Amino acid sequence: MAKAGSASAVADLFTKDLLLSIKPEYAIAIVDGRKTVELRRKFPEDVAGGSKAFIYSSSPVQAVVAFAVIERVDRLALERLWQRHGKASCVDRATFDAYFLGQSIGCGVVLRSITSLANPIPREDLKSRFGILPPQSFMYLPADVEKQLFDGDP
């Protein structure tokens, strides 16, 4: 247990593991290393660099296929977001504009240290073993979920 006021205690307050639901074509691009930025209309402000993002590939795959470290989250005006992260997000400008329609600011979740899982964790296992139902967008994961998911060997 970290002492109050220590660097570790401060890190514990802000580094939070997340389960991110991502369409299969983008999950594949993340695993392949082509996509290093996940675009979101909204993203929690209390997630700091160093948090882990578990990549849940949505239907029809329906499994956790990888995890990555969140390097940072850039909250930017849309034109600036496109300029900075358009290429790394693996979407074309029309798709970007359609996704952010009606928004003035968007989030670029910059990912690093992407690790593909040799044995993806199916939706059924998430539900039966951990009581986790994959979200439409994202959810926080309990602090010990990585250890539970991988039995200490990610």
What is the rounded average pLDDT for all residues in the chain? 87
What confidence category does residue 48 fall into, taking pLDDT thresholds of 50, 70 and 90? confident
**Residue 151 pLDDT more than 60?**
no
Evaluate whether residue 143 is within a structural domain. Answer: no
* Residue 59 is assigned to a structural domain of this protein: yes
Number of domains the chain contains: 1
Q: Is residue 140 part of a domain?
A: no
Query: Which three-class secondary structure string do you get for 14-49?
Result: HCCCEEEEECHHHHHHHHHCCCCEEEECCCCCCCCC
Whether 103 is in a domain gets the answer: yes
Residues 57-116: pLDDT tens digits?
999 999 999 999 999 999 999 999 999 999 999 999 999 999 999 999 999 999 999 999
pLDDT at 134 over 80: yes
Domain of residue 108: give its range.
7-135
What's 100's domain CATH number? 2.30.130.30
Residue 148 domain flag: no
